[in-house]
Amino acid sequence: MPGFRRWGKSKLERNPQSSFKLLAAVLVITLYLIIKEFQHPTVHLPYTTPVGAHIQYTQWNGTGKAHEKRADKVRDAMRYTFRKYRENAWGYDDILPVSGKGSSSRNGWGAFIVDSASTLVLMGLWDELSHSIEHILGIDFTVADDLVDPFETTIRYLGGMLSIVDLYDAGLIPQDVLHDEARDLILEHAVTLAQKLAPAYDTPTGMPWPRVDFETEQGEPNPTFVFSDDPNKREYDHPVIGPARTGSSILENRVLTRMTGAYIFAKNSTLAWAPLVWSKWVSPWPGMVDAPIDIMNGSPVARARHWDGGHDSYYEYLFKITLLSPPTDPHLSLYKKRFLDSAYSLRKYLGSRSASAPNHIMQHLFIGRQNGEEYHNQQGHLACFAPGTILLASQQYNQPSLRTFALALLEGCRHIYTSTTTKIGPETWSWTPKFSYDEPRFAPTTERQKEEWTKSGIWSTEPAYKGRPEYVESLFYAWRITGEQRYREWAWEAFAAMEEHCKAPYGYAQLADVWQAKSEDNWVDMQESFWASETLKYLWLTFTDVETASLDTWVFSTEGHPFRMIR
């Protein structure tokens, strides 16, 4: 557990008289600290120094300047996205980009508005931002339409608001768009929201409940969870949670603690991921956790191990927290060890090279998943975040072999994009492993899968595109870290394909099938707020000047919200 220390042989055993005095002194000090803590929670750790990192490539020699034309095209896509939402669905959580209807599935506070604001700031879209700020100031976070999902709410709403405050404090928002009082009000909203989310942490382990009821102020299980005394009727004894849900509130809460001085936020989010970081369960692979996990006793109820959806952002935050924690944080060296162990385990146990196919000799590197004893030769689009995070860590921790691994994974993700008809990657895909002891779990079965495999060495298992950012996010990191122009080119190819295939009458639609030729029938009437908070932001940042939101001074949350590297 955090804070736990194993003491060596103490002096108490040798000198009984001085030991009594020492004991008394310790008691008095402890009592004093406890009382003080209750009166006024203090920040034990100072957050004052902007500590820069050395992550970005430095020898640009003029090559890191903005590619104005391309950056402007992405900015136009953001303006279009915003305008259509504003005209047709203002105040709803999201717009449906084909029909133009409003839709609310994130408690109705206007998720799009809060989630897209940091993108508007970076792009300098002040008129749009003014409208958004006005809405944000009026949100009442004490009432919710429905049960609240602490994970989604933390990364989209809480992170979105904290990022606005940080961007303002960094002097990046003009005074006529935001001023001190409004800034303070947004921070107050953030505190209100975090306090409403607090019942999530009321479990014996400190791991969060999957939902919170804002009315009763109690944690709730996932809506599909079955409570039953009959073991045959229930899947698990207690609610369970994946590593991403319990392990990705620490960045947002660290920042909230820095801004407010209230230590409780950093503390609760640290306790929430403690069962992962300080896991007492033996996993055969260093650094990797088994999941899902019982929130009541912290034990894994199954043995799924991977960096894909449901696990992903725990590993992301395990690295990124080291860029936001004060240097005096006693856990930093453990976080580093856990991250590096897990990254090397990922490479060793889940990295898999594809075999050549009849019409495609090239082989690519992918990351599969372990499910109990079984290796699944399948990767999801979400796992394309891994190259970016591993590249960041390879810079910070000086691990050249991880850099090589990350860039190879990124090339694999690109292959997924360039293989399809639309030049956009699918939601999940499979490959035939070049090296495998057992019969691979997945093989191409349908005619269509066989054809895809013959041509490209991979086949889709779910051919949709959901507007996801992970591939272009990793391209952004690769561009800023290596300085190699090709990553900028790849990003442009991806953007051009999205512009061509996803642009719909009221925004940017998702696609049913990335192997289909251009057609309106291919549109899915959905646009998640991460399209604006991440996909367009990372694309734009790839084309704008490399000093904008430099990786040496900003850390991006898992939802793409930039936080200052102040420790």
Q: Is 216 in the site for ligand NAG (CB under 6 A)?
A: no
Site string for ligand NAG, 421-460 (x = CB under 6 A): ----------------------------------------
Least distance in Å: CB of 267 to ligand NAG?
7
Least distance in Å: CB of 198 to ligand NAG?
3
Report how far residue 424's alpha carbon sits from residue 416's, in angstroms, rounded to the nearest whole number. 8
Kindly give, in sequence order, each residue whose CB lies less than 8 Å from that of residue 115, ignoring residues fewer than 6 positions away.
156, 157, 160, 529, 530, 532, 533, 559
E strand or H helix that includes residue 371: strand 369-371
| CB neighbours of residue 404 within 10 Å | 12
Is 535 marked within a binding site?
Answer: no
Query: Which residues partner with 498 through β-bridges?
Result: none
Classify residue 90 by burial, with Cβ atoms within 10 Å: 0-12, 13-18, 19+: middle
Q: Is 206 in the site for ligand NAG (CB under 6 A)?
A: yes
Is 534 labeled as catalytic in the residue annotation? no
Is 152 labeled as catalytic in the residue annotation? yes
Decide whether 104 or 195 has the Cβ nearer to ligand NAG: 195
Least distance in Å: CB of 358 to ligand NAG?
40
- Which range in 119-127, 138-146, 201-209, 395-403 contacts ligand NAG by CB under 6 A? 201-209
Decide whether 10 or 61 has the Cβ nearer to ligand NAG: 61
Report how far residue 230's alpha carbon sits from residue 378's, in angstroms, rounded to the nearest whole number. 35
- Which residue in 366, 498, 380, 482 sits closest to 432, CA to CA? 366
Query: Which residues partner with 484 through β-bridges?
Result: none
Is 427 labeled as catalytic in the residue annotation? yes
Question: 3-state SS of 522-567?
Answer: HEECCCCCHHHHHHHHHHHHHHCCCCCCCCCCEEECCCCCEEECEC
Interface positions, 11-70, toward ligand NAG (CB under 6 A): 59, 61
Report how far residue 375's alpha carbon sits from residue 430's, in angstroms, rounded to the nearest whole number. 12
Check: CB of residue 295 under 8 Å from CB of residue 238: yes
Q: Is 202 in the site for ligand NAG (CB under 6 A)?
A: yes
Measured from each CB, the residue nearest to ligand NAG is: 198
Decide whether 257 or 456 has the Cβ nearer to ligand NAG: 257
At 132, the amino acid letter reads S
Q: Is 264 in the site for ligand NAG (CB under 6 A)?
A: yes
Task: Report how many helices (DSSP H) and strands (DSSP E) the chain contains, helices first.
Answer: 19, 20
DSSP state of 452: H
Which of 152, 169, 411, 552 is catalytic? The answer is 152
Task: Tell me the three state secondary structure of residue 278.
Answer: coil
Is 473 labeled as catalytic in the residue annotation? no
Q: Is 552 in the site for ligand NAG (CB under 6 A)?
A: no
Site string for ligand NAG, 157-196 (x = CB under 6 A): --------------------------------------x-
Q: Which residue from 198, 296, 334, 408 is in contact with ligand NAG, where contact means CB under 6 A?
A: 198
- Binding-site residues for Ca(2+), please? 558
Give me the active site residues, please. Answer: 152, 312, 427, 470
Which stretches of the chain bind ligand NAG, using CB under 6 A? 59, 61, 195, 198, 201-202, 206, 264-265, 268
- Binding-site residues, please? 558
